[in-house]
Structure 1
Amino acid sequence: MVAIAARGLTKIFDDVVAVDDVDLEIKPGEFLVVLGPTGCGKSTLLRLLAGFEEPTSGTVTFDGVPVAEIEPRERDIAVVFQNYALYPHLTVAQNIGFPLRATAAPAADIGARVAAVARNVGIADLLSRYPEHLSGGQRQRVAMARALVRQPAVFLLDEPLSNVDAGARAALRGEIVALARRLAVTTIYVTHDQTEAMSMADRIAVLRLGVLQQVGPPVDVYADPDTLFVAAFLGMPRTSLLEAAVYAQDGGVVLDLGSQVLELPPGDPRTARLAEHHTERVTLVLRALPLQERDMSVRGTVCAVENLGHELLAHVDVGGVPSVRLDAPVAPSRAVAQSTPYGFYPAYDLVDAPPTGEVMVRIPVPVQVRIGDDLDVGVGLTDLLLFDRAGRRIRFDPV
């Protein structure tokens, strides 16, 4: 197992900053997922960590040794890409064994290792087939087996399941994690899919515009986001972003949403902490809420209903104001990104944020709601995630 560390890692292509001053540590045997939208620098970061790209500045070390000082063949890295890149004229067994034949390993050893890794990834019965006769999921298993047959110390996966159908993707997620655990290999997995990240990672590293936003266990990153982008990007169903103003009055605090207000419970230490932000304009983030009574509530009109089988997902228009533009076509310049590293404006990559003024509500079956119904949506203090105008978290938990 190998420990990987990046310090001040930056990569600039002409005038594009692909990776911007990233500090990251990956523990031996850890399964780290790099998560972010398309074009945020995930694949570039992966190549830098592997030593495939030379950084503009900063360093990468394997067990304390700069990766640039380690010969490529001695880095003991295996990579699986989005495209399977299988040799069409070779059988599955020959594809898997190709890395071993390239090192002139004994034929008997090659056969035994190919059979063993094929059993591990569930393709032992496909060894005599050619790639053209395999499904997408089977081809990806072959690509994984070919990478793992060398018994690497570092396993890198770059969007490996993007070309796999949904059913196979769900099965492969668990298999990849189980295999990495069984082999005790340090694994870095790149994806834009938050479901993959949440279900597979020991830790998630969230990237935006080349800037590392937050690193931590999935449950912590989801429940306690440091930035507006992390809060908006992580959330299924999609997250609501509403403009609000904080007003402290008569010993209490209200969040003014424009068309209505949320009156925070007086006497709660968290309310007192939030009073320190009197008159500030903030972004209120609300993830999908259960239909139940809480400390506060907002009232709105159901404008859409999604039937998910086990529950309904109601889109409730509460008349709020959207906090960020969702249609800005151009990414911020490097100068803007440096001065506001959380990248609050423009939020062009928050493409999954809901339309103006909507709150998402989970409704258990058999309760029924229809478009046009009025609905009171309960909101608790623990549901409130607040962010300042730079996209930084406003924490008001009691000290």
Structure 2
Amino acid sequence: MITNYDILIIGGGAAGFFTAINIAENNPKLKIAILERGKEVLSKVKVSGGGRCNVTHACFIPNDLVKFYPRGEKELKGPFNQFCSGDTIEWFEKHGVELKIEEDGRMFPVTDSSQTIIDCFLTATKKMGIDILTGQSVQSIHKGENYWKADTNHQSFKCETLVMATGSNPKIWELTESLGHTIEAPVPSLFTFNIKDDRIKDLMGVSAFTTVKVKDSKLKASGPLLITHWGMSGPGILRLSAWGARELAAKNYKFTLQVNWLHETDFEEALDTLKNLKEENAKKLVVKFCPFEFPKRLWESLVNASGISAETKWADVTKKQLTDLANQLTNGQFQVNGKSTFKEEFVTAGGINLKEIDFKTMQSKLHDNLYFAGEILNIDAITGGFNFQNAWTGGFLAARAISEK
């Protein structure tokens, strides 16, 4: 038995729901269904932002917003000029959800609960008569002369327009490849670095604003670095992992990380500061007197790594020890051996080649009436609500194009 719909959306996540609701609101006559392989819909929305759902980011200028996307920066400029963060805020307000801005620019529902977003979507789909069909794992997709057919583990569906919004789903990527699309091989994007090093061994929880580089590469990032029990994390590290996703995968996550604990202060500046201290604070203990805005425990560790004992006074520090300390501060070298997943974030670099998508409509350039939204495409961002914003924007553009046909 084949069930017929005007619009079939594969994927019951953020992008799928947003697309479905916007199509229905633009054209209520269309018969729409969302197919979800799992038992529940919107499961990633539920756990995102620690269960609070980081809906978007308070960056309202498209040309600035695109800079948070290691993959998709160029392609998203046009779409963000059509539907940006401000439009997202307005959309949710119209649907009864008020958002708030936190200090770092992340935006959450004022309820601090992802269930608010889930309830908003479920209420809207029910109101618009959109069918939500769970436990439907798509096994094959076939293109007819003027229709699409999707076979699941339970039944077959036929539709005029097909929307793929399945996120990083290898099975669906395979199916889109069978339709002629090119898939950029998936690699992890947001991850932390596994480092075993005596300098940071007992410093779990210590944080500093740093500049980090991957040795012998152009990869570089700045931001807070957090020392963890497995190594290093924090926004600076996550940024580096996102922009270096492919390069670091090619290195099998084994490389040398160069850390400037003083951010923009270089070796010469640091050495000059230390030399002045040696003269001005001769009688003070080195370990007790840190000249930089810097975590005390980290300073003690780097002083020790420079061969300076806890009893050494500034007057007794040798030229070599000063040089070593300046090096530790501005160019500490740490061996990375592997990665760890960042919290509940599972962001993947990879997906459908962006050259095969019309970013005015989110339609496939290879097939009419085939649309894409969200992380199924080779688009990803750092944390902060940016991956959701891509889902909302893509869903909005696809919905507008579909409902205008």
TM-score (norm 1): 0.23
Q: Please identify which structure carries the higher strand content.
A: 1
Q: Please identify which structure carries the higher helix content.
A: 2
Higher relative contact order (CA 8 A, sep 6+): 2
